[in-house]
Amino acid sequence: MSDPFKQAAGIRKVLTAGEDAEGRLDAWITANLGEEFSRSRIKALIKDGQLTVNGQPVIDPQKKVRAGDQIEVLLPEPEDPTPKGEDIPLDVLFEDSDVIVISKPSGLVVHPAAGNWTGTLVNALIHHCGDSLSGIGGVRRPGIVHRLDKDTTGVMVVAKNDIAHRHLSLQFADHGRTMPLERAYQAVVWGRPRSLAGTIDAPLGRAVGDRTRRAVKRQEDNNADEAITHYQVLERFHESPDATALASLVECRLETGRTHQIRVHMAHIGHPLLGDITYGAGYKTKANLLPDSARKIVSGFGRQALHAFMLQFEHPTSGDIMHFEASMPEDMQELVSALRR
């Protein structure tokens, strides 16, 4: 009989179904193959003809497993990524065979997309550690489990293999409620929130008429995702006797991680981020209240004043609690110094 795999390159795994074997083929293989491959990946391999049962090719993931079945699956070598590696400098805080933690600079897009097919963090990571990527979903690429906006700076973790990708994805989906994930940001906002500490619980969804923007929605809206931000005022700038302030430095901790969450939430309570032309353009004239030297720096600040200074997570294989912090970038330090003056 000819080889049903057509001599394709890869790793062959042979499994034998025991007396208690039952259920769908894709589910059984995933449970018995270990954590290296996800069920969706196994399902795709079956449909692609990379599996035989008792020597016969099978392409139906829902086929039932029977006791004594000899199941052979071909696990192809990871394919090269579509994005190409580019020699873009990275500030690496930590790296091992499972994860890489970096401090992202302003202006760096995380993932290739329309308008930014090159020059992204993914391109940089493929160049930096492409040889150590073992393949995520069958492709030798970095596993992005969370994102920072192009002009937001700070700590990010990226997975280097399927096991790490799934483990980190679970932590970010859990939002730190039952797992040790923590995320904290520093932001400079206009004004001073009424309370020095508080929680913003306001669902978010796509803005009407503009798919790139997010907006606060009603709880019952089908387009609404739960979004919760905890904030604390750290410092007030140009405070008046009546306890108002021109601007404030706040720390925000995410209980959920929605697109533009901090930017939309702070604007929602009347305190948008300095430099945020998407959600706070109407506040830009407040800089005119500052002395000349400070006004020039504040008016010229060309991005939202947001920095992801802290990230904590559980290492996907060792179980160690990993804690990382990144200092406020120079442009935000200069902004804060100007406001203090």
- Report the Cα 317 to chain-centroid distance in Å: 19
Nearest alpha carbon to residue 163 among 76, 34, 311: 34
Contact of 99 with 319, CB cutoff 8 Å: no
Distances (CA, A) of 158 to 11, 103, 161, 265: 26, 11, 9, 26
Per-residue pLDDT of the chain (341 residues; tens, 9 = 90+): 445 444 455 677 888 988 888 889 988 988 887 666 777 778 888 888 888 999 899 999 899 999 999 999 887 776 666 788 999 999 999 999 999 999 999 999 998 876 778 899 999 999 999 888 876 666 778 999 999 999 999 999 999 998 999 999 999 999 888 899 999 999 999 999 989 999 999 999 999 888 789 999 988 888 889 999 999 999 999 877 766 789 999 999 999 999 999 999 999 999 999 999 999 988 888 888 888 888 999 999 999 999 999 999 999 999 999 999 999 999 999 999 999 98
Contact of 60 with 97, CB cutoff 8 Å: no
pLDDT at 9: 55
Element (H, E) at 316: none
Contact of 337 with 184, CB cutoff 8 Å: no
Ordered domains of the chain (ranges, CATH): 11-75 (3.10.290.10), 92-162 (no CATH), 183-340 (3.30.2350.10)
Known catalytic residues are 149
Instruction: Please say whether the dihedral angle defined by the alpha carbons of residues 40, 127, 164 and 329, taken in this order, is positive or negative.
Output: negative
13, two tokens: 């795994």
pLDDT at 10: 65
Contact of 172 with 159, CB cutoff 8 Å: no
**Number of Cβ within a 10 Å radius of residue 110:** 21
Q: Round to whole Å and give the CA distance between 37 and 165.
A: 11
Q: How many CA atoms lie within 13 A of 106 on its CB side?
A: 15
pLDDT at 83: 83
Contact of 319 with 327, CB cutoff 8 Å: no
- Give the pairing of strands 153-159 and 306-314: parallel
- What one-character-per-residue DSSP string does 23-80 give? SBHHHHHHHHH-TTS-HHHHHHHHHTT-EEETTEE---TTPBP-TT-EEEEEEPPPBP
Nearest alpha carbon to residue 266 among 235, 227, 222: 227
pLDDT at 121: 96
pLDDT at 53: 93
Instruction: Tell me the backbone φ, ψ of residue 193, rounded to 5 degrees.
Output: -55, 145
pLDDT at 243: 63
Nearest alpha carbon to residue 126 among 148, 142, 103: 142
Global confidence as pTM? 0.78
